[in-house]
Structure 1
Amino acid sequence: KDQRPELKHVYSQVLQDVQNRVHLAFDAFFRRVKRGETPGYPRFKGRGWYDSFTFKQAGFGFRVDGQWLDVSKIGSVQMINHRPINGTIKTLTIRRTSTGKWFACFSVEAKPEPLPPTQRAVGVDVGLEKFATLSTGEQIAHPRCFRKDERALAKAQRRLSKVEKGTPECTKRRKVVAHIHERIANRRKDFAHKLSRRLVKEFGIIVLENLSIARMMKNHSLAKSIADAAWNQLGSYTRYKAASAGRTYLEVDPRGTSQRCSRCRGVVKKDLSVRVHQCPYCGLQMDRDLNAALNILAVGLHSIGSQSVEAACL
């Protein structure tokens, strides 16, 4: 602070958290190097790249008073609460989005709220034709959040590329691009939250595939559709909701779930163009994604040795 007097205007815990972020970045870098990956070296984040700061301890540096947030070195800021804060506030992160919106994000220690117990179990197969197929036979349509705005985004990006960097017009057009990206991200989050909440509410055991998205993205003809699907988002949302609700969430190895017959367990080879599972051994014929969902459910139940559940299947 002697060399940088402006830092005296920043709360001490905020400065300490910046050091913690640097340590985390280098820890992640060296961890990936040890795994044989080729990660990018942690970059310096200047003024234009730093969009959040964190208060690590409630009661020190910030205080919540109804609709007002008192922040050390900043003052009182009025908030719009989208829901009540239930539990004990632990930390606060103030974040600025690329569109210029500001959010106060609280981490809270709260007691789990288990849902009424149910013996129902479901397997979920995700895909590109349909976003998900449940072992109940239900198919959930793909929201295609990126595809809906792809043309508008391309047009906005072309307009941005034609102006000089650093000019007011560049800032204006960059914000248009950011708004489209934000709209796409919000649609994905909304879809994943609603579907994960429904799965956790209806089923006691939820089984999904443990997909290697990075490996799948190497297929350049499908990479855009895979990125648009955001399957991992559904998994992460379902995982934490299930933990809070007292449900069982499982991820299983997807290998063989599309090729194996869900009735007789025989292996029936087929490529992605074949949309119907036809078993030459037992005569079973059904949609390939439904067959995969049934296999995913069976693998999940076998992994926990569960026999006293009501499997949600045909």
Structure 2
Amino acid sequence: MIILEFKAYGKRHQYSAIDEAIRTVKFIRNSCIRYWMDNKGVNKYDFSRYSTVLGKKFSFVNELNSTARQSSAERAWSSIARFSDNCKKKVPGKKGFPRFQKRCRSVEYKQSGWKLSPDKKSITFSDKKGIGKLKLKGTWDLWRFDKKQIKRVRIVRRADGYYVQFCVQVDINVRVRAASALPKAWPTALELEPTGNTIGLDVGLKDFYTDSNGHAEPNPRFYRTGEKRLKFSQRRVSRKKKGSANRRKAINRLGKTHLKISRQREEHAKRLARCVVRSNDLVAYEDLRVRNLVKNHCLAKSINDAGWYQFRKWLEHFGDKFGRITVAVNPAYTSQNCSDCGELVKKSLSTRTHVCKCGCQLDRDHNAAINILKRALGTVGHIGTLVLDQNAYGDLASTLLGSDLDEQVESLK
């Protein structure tokens, strides 16, 4: 599955109709949550039937397409299923009890309620909400895909306008030798020639990452750079009267600033991940739990600004797409152990140079990157996968210290 996004252009009354559809979706989801709280033993199919009951009971709900009502009920059920799984697995801490949604920004249709124009440059929504025909602007060529491949269509509201997303069922693991054999902009995987290179990555706050070859990629710090502008926009919001039109405009400008920063961070992570994966046969990185790391209030802003999760997500995506091996290893003691002799050299976070009795003297992050690569090679060796084997690719789970081979979990495809 791939997601193709286009900017949507329409008139003011069409945007109002989209907002009304989004409010209806929120009402259906919250009603389903209340229905689950009042009735024990309901399941996913009961939610689908209840969305039909809501359509008969409320006229504004009936105006929305039936598949969009079903998608909203499925969203409610997904939150309930996640809560039930966390309770069964006895996840420590909060289990994520389903909450009533206060803000909703999208409405999702299935394979009905919309129709693409013959040139695939506009889309028409045929339900009674009155959205009508929206012009699409983007770089993807929708005419290359059959309508049966488009499984979902979603309208998303953001600070800078409205977007239409298409969920297309495409097998991205199709392997071909030459890129010229593919149509232009066709999203399939390319089996690249082996490079013979392996690399370990240690992410940080001083530098975005340091690899096992000693190269350090600078950290752009997009949020820190735009923080002055954000503070200015936030002051403009606080000075406006609550409920006024000027306050809504100020909030929209603030949202655009946040949106620009998030897009910069995402694009930076995507470009680096693509470059790293294409240049190496094996990429090793730390299996970090960013959710736990941001609990440190002194470093939370810098950790979120770095975008480690986005970087890992794109590493795994491009590893799957280009047939490369990506390995997530346990980060325990990768900075403390000597990469030369394996001796434990304790050091605080302020100590940036690793100095060992054996004579090894390296930058702290460089030493950690080498340890990460060695641990990844050991993991690949345990499961019998050659580094240059192009038939095995994907993401490998980390190997816990002191674990047996039976405890090793793999996710090879």
Note whether the superposition's TM-score is higher than 0.5. yes
What residue in structure 1 maps to residue 261 of structure 2?
184
What residue in structure 2 maps to residue 26 of structure 1?
80
Query: Is the 8 Å Cα contact of residues 135 and 293 (structure 1) preserved in structure 2?
Result: yes
CA 1:124–1:90 in structure 2 vs 1: closer, same or farther (change >3 Å)?
A: same
User: Residues 101-250 of structure 1: matches in 2 within 5 Å?
Assistant: 101-111=161-171, 112=173, 113-118=189-194, 119-250=196-327
Secondary structure of 2:371 counterpart: helix
- Cα RMSD of the aligned pairs, angstroms, is 1.9
Query: Is the 8 Å Cα contact of residues 199 and 283 (structure 2) preserved in structure 1?
Result: yes
Q: What's the CA shift for 1:123?
A: 0.7
What residue in structure 1 maps to residue 135 of structure 2?
78
CA distance in 1, matches of 2:191, 2:161: 35
CA 1:114–1:2 in structure 2 vs 1: closer, same or farther (change >3 Å)?
A: same
CA distance in 1, matches of 2:323, 2:151: 23
CA 1:174–1:40 in structure 2 vs 1: closer, same or farther (change >3 Å)?
A: farther
Following TM superposition, the consecutive aligned residue runs of length 4 or more in structure 1 with deviations greater than 6 angstroms are: none
Query: Is the 8 Å Cα contact of residues 120 and 204 (structure 1) preserved in structure 2?
Result: yes
Identity, % of aligned positions: 32
Q: What's the CA shift for 1:45?
A: 2.8
Q: Deviations over 1:221-270 (max 9, x none)?
A: 11111111120110011111211211111111100100111111111111
| Length, aligned pairs only | 304
Q: Deviations over 1:196-243 (max 9, x none)?
A: 111121112111101121222222211111111120110011111211
CA distance in 2, matches of 1:198, 1:22: 38
What residue in structure 2 maps to residue 295 of structure 1?
371
Q: What's the CA shift for 1:2?
A: 2.7
Amino acid at match of 2:93: E
Say which of 2, 16, 26 aligns to 2:70. Answer: 16
CA distance in 1, matches of 2:306, 2:277: 20
CA distance in 1, matches of 2:92, 2:160: 38
CA distance in 2, matches of 1:176, 1:43: 28
CA 1:143–1:13 in structure 2 vs 1: closer, same or farther (change >3 Å)?
A: same
Say which of 63, 69, 84 aligns to 2:115. Answer: 63
Query: Is the 8 Å Cα contact of residues 380 and 386 (structure 2) preserved in structure 1?
Result: no
Query: Is the 8 Å Cα contact of residues 259 and 267 (structure 1) preserved in structure 2?
Result: yes
Amino acid at match of 2:289: S
Q: Gaps (5+ residues) in structure 1?
A: none
Secondary structure of 2:339 counterpart: coil
Confirm whether residue 37 of structure 1 aligns to residue 75 of structure 2: no
Q: Gaps (5+ residues) in structure 2?
A: 1-54, 174-188, 390-413
Secondary structure of 1:266 counterpart: coil
- Per the normalisation by structure 1, the TM-score is 0.91
Secondary structure of 1:37 counterpart: coil
Amino acid at match of 1:139: A
Q: What's the CA shift for 1:308?
A: 5.5
CA 1:147–1:50 in structure 2 vs 1: closer, same or farther (change >3 Å)?
A: same
Say which of 70, 77, 94 aligns to 2:155. Answer: 94
Secondary structure of 1:105 counterpart: strand
Query: Is the 8 Å Cα contact of residues 259 and 270 (structure 1) preserved in structure 2?
Result: yes
Q: Deviations over 1:97-120 (max 9, x none)?
A: 1x1411111222223212313232
Query: Is the 8 Å Cα contact of residues 209 and 253 (structure 1) preserved in structure 2?
Result: yes
CA distance in 1, matches of 2:291, 2:372: 21
Q: 117-126 or 140-149: which moved more?
A: 117-126
Query: Is the 8 Å Cα contact of residues 93 and 106 (structure 1) preserved in structure 2?
Result: yes
Secondary structure of 2:141 counterpart: coil
Q: Deviations over 1:155-188 (max 9, x none)?
A: 2112212322221011011011101110110110
Give the number of the structure with larger relative contact order, counting CA–CA contacts within 8 Å between residues 6 or more apart: 1
Secondary structure of 2:240 counterpart: coil
Secondary structure of 1:123 counterpart: strand
Query: Is the 8 Å Cα contact of residues 266 and 307 (structure 2) preserved in structure 1?
Result: no
Q: 239-248 or 12-21: which moved more?
A: 239-248
CA 1:307–1:109 in structure 2 vs 1: closer, same or farther (change >3 Å)?
A: closer
Query: Is the 8 Å Cα contact of residues 258 and 292 (structure 1) preserved in structure 2?
Result: yes
Amino acid at match of 2:249: K
Amino acid at match of 1:10: L
Q: What's the CA shift for 1:44?
A: 2.3
- Per the normalisation by structure 2, the TM-score is 0.70
Q: What's the CA shift for 1:307?
A: 6.3
CA distance in 2, matches of 1:256, 1:250: 17
